[in-house]
Amino acid sequence: MNKINIGIIGAAGYTGGELLRILINHPNASVAFAHSKSQAGKPVYTTHTDLLGDTDLVFSGDDIQGLLNQEGLNVIFLCSGHGESQKFLTEYTLPAELKIIDLSTDFRDESNGFVYGLPELQKEKISTAKKIANPGCFATSIELAILPLANAGIIKNDIHVSAVTGSTGAGQSLSATTHFTWRNNNMSIYKAFTHQHLTEIKMSLGKLQDGFDKAVNFIPYRGDYTRGIMANVYTEYEGSLEEAKALYKSFYESHPFTHVSDAPIDLKQVVNTNKCIIHLEKHDDQLLITSAIDNLTKGASGQATQNMNLIFGLPEDAGLRLKAPAF
């Protein structure tokens, strides 16, 4: 097939950079433009220095409407901050056939015609969508830990989650809690019980388990490393560990990136990949589900590329067979 022509809005940030790394090596992709107001006119590799020698792209920054109207453009990725996508779609006129994949939180409630883009939840709906709202990183890791239970309709009690994320989860702009001197050799809780991803998590569980109304008690942690999320989720479960493993392996059998491990897992198995790896344990009447993803790939730009592949009828894993560091 002809290559997919792609535009990236907000290409200077972490998710924009990760998209560029994936897409310039994607066999079916061609990046038509990488837009950045702050870096306009500069080579992409001056911001994403690891791309030196890989691309001669220069950040565009002036006539966005002209970029959107260029002949042959197939899809744009919106990688600006939360709230910016709504402004963008209000300010600019998009061609009728142009696909949109939004990495912000703006349309994860599936408003304005957007489809929530978690392939393990609604792959078929994504495949025919024009507009995709890419899930949040914490939401992805937690939903993948719980979806098989919801699909079986057996979540009968509250869900408890503690999850830790790397510093890239806070974005590229500096703040008091992202400086090296504060983050290194440190850990802290933030947004306990109130994290913004709770809304989409509950929405997704409700899609599979009718009348889902249990609490999701979520304690997020800032970790002193760069990338990756490990979520530990537990809830009451009446079956055996063997039955739980069979349930999870069956649910994810047709999904190429989510795997159930019989052995305990660690973050280095998933960093720099689009994988989610899950491990199950049974403790008395509680099922403990550990879920690990990379917050920038499966939690953002990798999953966005996975959604692009589905929209355009490509193999789901095209351009996404990425190697974990492992050691």
Instruction: Give catalytic residue positions.
Output: 137
CA distance 268 to 327: 7
Length of the chain: 327
Q: Which two tokens stand for residue 109?
A: 């409630």
Q: Which of 326, 267, 314 lies closest to 292 in space, CA to CA?
A: 267
Query: What is d(CA 18, CA 189) in angstroms, rounded to the nearest whole number?
Result: 26
Long-range contact set of residues 311-318: C-beta below 8 Å, sequence gap at least 24:
311/75, 311/99, 311/101, 311/126, 311/127, 311/129, 311/132, 312/1, 312/4, 312/28, 312/74, 312/75, 313/127, 314/1, 314/28, 316/119, 316/256, 316/257, 317/256, 317/257, 317/274, 318/26, 318/27, 318/28
Q: Which two tokens stand for residue 134?
A: 């890419």
8 A C-beta contact, residue 132 and residue 115: yes
Structure tokens at 295: 């917050």
- The per-residue DSSP string of 116-163 comes to E--HHHHHHHHHT-SEEEPPPHHHHHHHHHHHHHHHTT---S-EEEEE
Rounded CA-CA distance 289/282 in Å is 9
Handedness of CA 74, 80, 85, 90 (dihedral sign): negative
